Chains A and B, each alone.
Chain A
């Protein structure tokens, strides 16, 4: 591990100034991903600016009904928070599906959004990786691809984003509040993470020195929601495929509003807009669920070892839609 300087930020403005003023500085919050990257040699900062004790750890309802989640709220606290459990069930479920009790006690909202892929070539500094070292090539293409992307990948990178939390937030139409050297801006969660294109080293649209200070959830609506995660074992494993859905119904059995996102399939939480367009206003039927899922996956392509993810994503989408619409059977 390369030696680095450590300093504790006094307030968000101080944190932003400290990181913005040093090209190789990074923010440190829970550290569950970053400390691992320091050990692996993936992250080699000159300076760590510790934001973990800043007063950004509150969950509060705003006067307009939105809920503001501070960037340093711990994953375990967020999952257990009454506002989240009662009104945003899908988010609580997604958080509890991620990592272990020990890790959720440390991991933070902002850090979870900024965690990096667990692609084994990205994590192994002895192998070429465009995400870790731009221009060196992608070892996954032609390598072991069981955990890799089926949607939105490029020739430069086929890695997937590992977060469960962010998938639920994408389905909830959350916004990320960011503070940078030139002020504050809000970024829709769906546009926060990038597809790899030819710059896979950039996971998000953040500029150097920009600090995530909060996530905003829109006011809760009368809807049903669920998060389902498919993984290799019952607990404590990353998603092969996951699906978050938020659905509200009309009295006649048609779908009024639907928002759906997939995890484990792309470089970012994948908002299923094609499926949503088909389902909006449609009868909640098995046939329509399947048609919507297949339309979403029309552009999916397998790399070899991960071909199973395409039918798995389709079946999981159908199962979650069945669950959130009240167990509709074949119509």
Chain B
């Protein structure tokens, strides 16, 4: 059963007709040729289809497109400004945060969404109950990124890339320079 919907995808309004069974992931990839979200498991378990839906990270394979009429969707493709990569994408490059790269668009979207959640004070399973602002330790980053699977063993550099971005953001808000060593190996 076909339904006409509109999505704001990476800043552009896109109208399309979808069968009610179409997931947001399939609408993006197969109907709108936005192929940065990847289809991995297609059951919400691997995170490679992660996009920002109304600013929040979700697995687009478990979202029906018809239910998102009018929604704002940002994919890894739309994170940067034109040719300018998003700082998280730069950090993934600097740190070699990927090998085959299949999971990377989802990892990057998830990392960006995760930083927003932490900035809003959202706790995680490993957060102490103090109620203090969330400090993104490696343990916090790993827990918060656990919905994204990578089978090529690049976990360490993914954590390092995210840590770089948090360090830069902390430096820019406090005015204290905290230069991340460019191109150095992950710890």
Q: Which residues of A contact B (CB under 8 A)?
A: 1, 3-6, 8, 28, 31-32, 35-36, 38-39, 48, 50, 52, 76, 79-80, 85-86, 89, 92-93, 96-97, 99-103, 105-106, 234-236
Check A100–B1 contact: CB distance below 8 A: no
A-B contact number at CB 8 A? 107
**B36 vs chain A, min Cβ distance (A):** 16
- In the assembled complex, the Cα of A89 lies from the Cα of B129 at a distance in Å of 9
- In the assembled complex, the Cα of A39 lies from the Cα of B39 at a distance in Å of 14
Check B122–A6 contact: CB distance below 8 A: no
Check B117–A6 contact: CB distance below 8 A: no
Interface centre among A6, A32, A52 (most CB of B within 10 A): A6
- In the assembled complex, the Cα of A236 lies from the Cα of B125 at a distance in Å of 10
Interface residue from B1, B114, B131 paired with A101 (Cβ < 8 Å): B114
Q: Which residues of B contact A (CB under 8 A)?
A: 1, 3, 19-21, 23, 42-44, 47, 50, 56-59, 61-64, 66-67, 110, 113-114, 117, 120-125, 127, 129, 131, 142-148
Check B3–A80 contact: CB distance below 8 A: no
Interface residue from A5, A28, A50, A105 paired with B58 (Cβ < 8 Å): A105
- In the assembled complex, the Cα of A76 lies from the Cα of B114 at a distance in Å of 12
Check B64–A31 contact: CB distance below 8 A: yes
**A164 vs chain B, min Cβ distance (A):** 10
A-B pairs with the 3 shortest C-beta distances?
A100-B147, A235-B146, A236-B146
- CB-CB < 8 A to B57: which residues of A? 101-102, 105
Q: A1-B21, A79-B122 are in contact. Are A6 and B3 (CB under 8 A)?
A: yes
- CB-CB < 8 A to A100: which residues of B? 47, 146-148
Check A6–B125 contact: CB distance below 8 A: no
Interface centre among A32, A92, A234, A235 (most CB of B within 10 A): A235
7 contacts between A and B (CB under 8 A): A3-B20, A28-B67, A35-B64, A76-B56, A80-B122, A100-B148, A102-B147
- CB-CB < 8 A to B124: which residues of A? 96, 101
**B40 vs chain A, min Cβ distance (A):** 13
- CB-CB < 8 A to B66: which residues of A? 6
Q: Tell me the nearest residue of chain B to A105, going by C-beta.
A: B56
Interface centre among A52, A92, A102 (most CB of B within 10 A): A102
- In the assembled complex, the Cα of A28 lies from the Cα of B61 at a distance in Å of 15
- In the assembled complex, the Cα of A8 lies from the Cα of B114 at a distance in Å of 30
Interface residue from B19, B20, B58, B64 paired with A102 (Cβ < 8 Å): B58
Check B43–A36 contact: CB distance below 8 A: yes
